Amino acid sequence: MEPMPDISFIIPVYNVSTYLRDFFSPFKFCTLSCEIIFVNDGSTDSSAEILKLFAENDPRVIVLDKVNGGVSTARNHGICYASGKFISCLDPDDILSPAFFKYIDFSIKNFNDVDTIVYRYEKFHDGKSTEVLNNYDVDFSSFEYVPKKTLYTLHNYPWIRIVRRELYSDNLFPEGIIYEDSVTIPLLNARAVKILRINAVLYHYRIRKDSLTNFNVLRNMELVTALSLLEERVEQFNEYRPSLYACVAHLSRSALITLYRTAKADSSSLILSKNQEIIYRKFNRYSLSTILRCDANFSDKICFSLLKMNRIGFFCFKILYKIISK
């Protein structure tokens, strides 16, 4: 019987042939025992052929093929297959720092009691170069244990954290909706006991042009569905409530942005009025004092406060958003 790998990397793949080679290149620096699980989610470009070449040349690579079902189905498929002590969910159109694996290697070998490892990231726009520093050295002052409440101030991105595999037990990503991270990640946070933070930029998130232009009102309103799903999961475990409240604060920011972009897209205001009613009804179930006392970050609390002010708060948010977006 082969020993358990230190870590399983889960990478959902759908029509990202343009980016795959650049994404995979840093894995040559990985010295951890690992399995690199690419889940081909029914790609129609040359992604499958590229993944086949990866697997032929690197025994750590595992390629799982499935019918297209979306990023959550692909991640869940990989997580269920994984056998590593830790799980890292990555996106194949992003870029890893050259020092990514050195930091992760040091973390797992020297802080082997941790449940969650988090690190910093930077965003860059597709088509524009990003400054990925060619620094392969580890800054040993970058590692620190932090309290659980630190997790509640972070975005619910799966790719800025590495977690013990058992934390995903009965907590996979909901399928068929966006904002799926806002259901699964808060419970990963709630289950973590020991948290290690790496104060270094290890991940570069690519903002693709289609993600900026293809705003879909109905899809973005799925944040209400995501919050309902999270409420259902939390209902069984009262100790998870702090994580729920932090997520409510975080989703209030997404709700305001959704309303703002709906207002820009809908000249008749009929859809906006309907969506305002749905969002206000959902978020008004939570008291302002409860959210202000939780461990969410300050800007999320401000957004929730504005949302509680209904249309007046939305008017104030529109002015602020125009200013900060310039």
pLDDT tens for each residue of 94-124: 999 989 999 999 999 999 899 999 999 999 9
Structure-token pair, residue 23: 């994404």
Q: Residue 81: inside a domain, yes or no? A: yes
Task: Provide the pLDDT for residue 261.
Answer: 86
Q: Which pair of tokens denotes residue 311?
A: 């249309």
Examine the domain organization and report whether 109 and 239 are in the same domain: no
What is residue 183's predicted lDDT score, i.e. its pLDDT?
95
In a domain, 2, yes or no: no
Regarding predicted confidence, which is higher, 98 or 82? 82
Q: Tell me: the pLDDT tens digits for 278-311?
A: 999 999 999 999 999 999 999 999 999 999 999 8
- Residue 32: inside a domain, yes or no? yes
**Is 253 in the same domain as 115?**
no
Residue 137: is its pLDDT beyond 90?
no
The predicted model scores a pTM of 0.93
CATH code: domain of residue 83:
3.90.550.10
Q: Is residue 168 part of a domain?
A: yes
Q: How many domains does the chain have?
A: 2
Same domain, 87 and 174: yes
* Residues 181 and 279 both lie in one domain: no
Q: Which candidate, 187, 161, 158, 163, places its Cα nearest to that of 115? A: 163
Q: pLDDT at position 94, please? A: 96
29 with 60, same domain? yes
Helices (H), 25-180: 47-57, 71-81, 100-110
How deeply is 238 buried, as exposed, middle or buried, from its count of CB atoms within 10 A (0-12, 13-18, 19+)? exposed
Gap between the Cα atoms of 255 and 183, Å rounded:
15
Distance of CA 107 to the CA centre of its chain: 20
Arithmetic mean of pLDDT over the chain: 91
Domain contains 1 = no
Q: Report the pLDDT averaged over residues 232-255.
A: 90
Domain boundary among 175, 194, 209: 209
Quote the CA–CA distance of 316 and 101 in Å, as a whole number.
Answer: 44
Same domain flag for 45 and 181: yes
Q: Which domain holds residue 247?
A: 215-325
Percent of the chain with pLDDT over 90: 77
Q: Give a yes or no: residue 298 inside a domain.
A: yes
Among the three residues 189, 209, 229, which one is the final residue of a domain in this structure? 209
- Cβ neighbours, 10 Å, residue 110: 11
The answer to whether residues 299 and 252 touch, using CB atoms and an 8 Å cutoff, is no
For CA atoms 305, 310, 316, 319, the dihedral sign is positive
- Of 3, 174, 181, the closest CA to residue 84 belongs to 3
Residue 286 has which token pair?
Answer: 């939570």
- The stretch 237-257 carries a mean pLDDT of 91
Do 192 and 150 share a structural domain?
yes
Last residue of a domain, one of 191, 209, 227: 209
Task: Give the model's pLDDT for residue 323.
Answer: 77
Query: 230 and 187: one domain?
Result: no
Q: 14 or 138, which is more confident?
A: 14
Convert the pLDDT of each residue in 173-227 to its tens digit.
999 999 999 999 999 999 999 999 999 999 999 998 776 456 677 788 999 999 9
Instruction: Clarify whether residues 106 and 145 are in a common domain.
Output: yes
Tell me if 91 is assigned to some domain.
yes
Judgement on whether residues 236 and 204 belong to the same structural domain of the protein: no
pLDDT at 238 (0 to 100): 79
Task: Say whether both 19 and 85 belong to one domain.
Answer: yes
**Same domain for 110 and 33:** yes
Structure confidence at residue 150 as a pLDDT band (50, 70, 90): very high
Rounded to the nearest 10 degrees, what angle do helices 241-265 and 298-308 cross at? Answer: 60
Is 72 inside a domain boundary?
yes
